[in-house]
Structure 1
């Protein structure tokens, strides 16, 4: 539920593109002057409050009937509702808004799964959660403000909001090229460990292709 409540009004395109230019798919890491840096399961756990430990979700390609059967078995809905939703979603998928409604109603057991693992794989694929990560590790980059209502019991990704759309790629590129060790917060979550403790497996970041 906390994940579905996190959203951004604006995207710092210059900031994101600056990092994307330095992303290497071969190493799944950003190559910056201070070395290679990457998003880990610990970042996902702290930024989004998703479990690191638990069962893994195995994904496989399904046909329509298999998809409907899976939705019925896992979510406890009837086959007709599952079929209508896949048609409304225009494919063998469901909408997040629909899934959220089902979750609220019937899926309290979802907490047993290690959601950080597939989330990290998705972040690597889409680089969609990169802004929260950059805000934590690179405090001088990006125009952001702290949310006054934020408290440490909520995901760290909700702590900052962008001040507006920023497209100055050259500026962020120069900042990244001049990055030094003192410009990086190497342990950004120390004050959050009482809420999201560190697990050794949280540093895992490789082999998720």
Structure 2
């Protein structure tokens, strides 16, 4: 007696059709491949001028194309060092959502720079936010995550999993630099940042 087998249809399944047999290998393609949506990051309208601080409450400032450091500043000094202290956080939409995707840009000497982590080394490369990134990972895209129990944020690279923006002290100069760091514990203090709106003096209302 033959056994009957019932299989539930998977609505997300992709039907494959044979295309050709080449050198002993049978090649397939999706039956409706023209309708498949490719992974892509698309720029949203949302962006925010921000001040980033580390756990010591020091303010992040871009100093060169490959360096951003954290320094103790008053509100007046934050404004005086602008636009190198004003980081634009731009939201991106994913075709397959995996988190709150953002890119980070800063201005210096009439040039705009976008933060890249290519090769796990941070660098500010000249340019503006691309309207579209045709990939499911990018050296320009980070996932901004809110830390439970804290008013802190983390930024994980979309290109390198478990690699986060972090604050690290240089042994020679003693400066606290922005780096990309692979961490085992996601709540590592060096990866925690406070992100606040950039406020100029005219925006601050007296009490």
Q: TM-score range by the shorter chain?
A: under 0.3
TM-score, scaled to structure 1: 0.26
Specify which structure has the bigger relative contact order, considering alpha-carbon pairs within 8 angstroms and separated by 6 or more residues.
Answer: 1
More strand by share: 2
Structure 2-normalised TM-score? 0.26
Q: Which has the higher helix share?
A: 1
Say which one has the larger Rg. Answer: 2
